[in-house]
Amino acid sequence: MKLYKNERQLIKLLGNALDAAESHLEYCGYGDSWEREGAYHAKLPEQIAAAIKAYNQYQQELRKSLTIIVANVHTYQKEESDFVVYIGRGSAPGFADYHANLGNPAKISQTKSRAQCIIDFRKKMQTSLLVKKRLEKLAEKVEIVSTQYLRIVLLCWCYPEPCHGNPIKKWLSNRLNTKKG
């Protein structure tokens, strides 16, 4: 995983806050020592707030570096930096990290084209409470793991053909405000 320049700043801020807290506890109640340290300790809440702010900025930077892709179950080779989400119908492959239960119920037939199936799924994304709930659950899961992985891989059987994974990817990217891969 790529190291970010903010990590050192974050570690330093957290270290300063912890040192100040430790020093405060050592001297608390020791008369003159506590009074001498009083001015220094008055900045403890500011140091903690600065550390938390730096941490939150770091988390946002990690999320912005996250890439979301759609891949085919048959051809995809799992990498350590990938969080794999199965979005197809049926059972997830064993190497998937998460089963989103977002398989497209519309099936290609003599009367329904691939494009029409994708359009139908887009409509479901906007109208079906169940699909909306599953999308939100997926977004929550990805938010939790987004600082641990570099890519979110949405796995389906039909990719690289046009796929319902593309509107899921677009929705998830917009929801997480990430770059698109």
pLDDT at 148: 77
The confidence score (pLDDT) of residue 37 equals: 61
What per-residue confidence (pLDDT) applies to 179?
Answer: 42
pLDDT of residue 147: 73
Two tokens at 14?
A: 């957290």
CA count, 13 A, side-chain hemisphere, 156? 25
133-to-118, 129, 169 alpha-carbon distances in Å: 19, 6, 16
Positions in the chain whose pLDDT score sits under 70: 1-12, 15, 18, 21-45, 48, 62-63, 178-181
- Token pair 């403890």 in the structure block, residue: 44
Q: Where are the domains of the chain?
A: 6-63, 67-180
Sequence-distant (6+) residues with CB within 8 A of 21 are: 44, 48
| pLDDT score recorded for residue 118 | 92
Q: Could you check whether the bond before residue 160 is cis, i.e. omega within 30 degrees of 0?
A: yes
**What pLDDT was estimated at residue 136?**
94
Q: Which two tokens stand for residue 149?
A: 């992985």
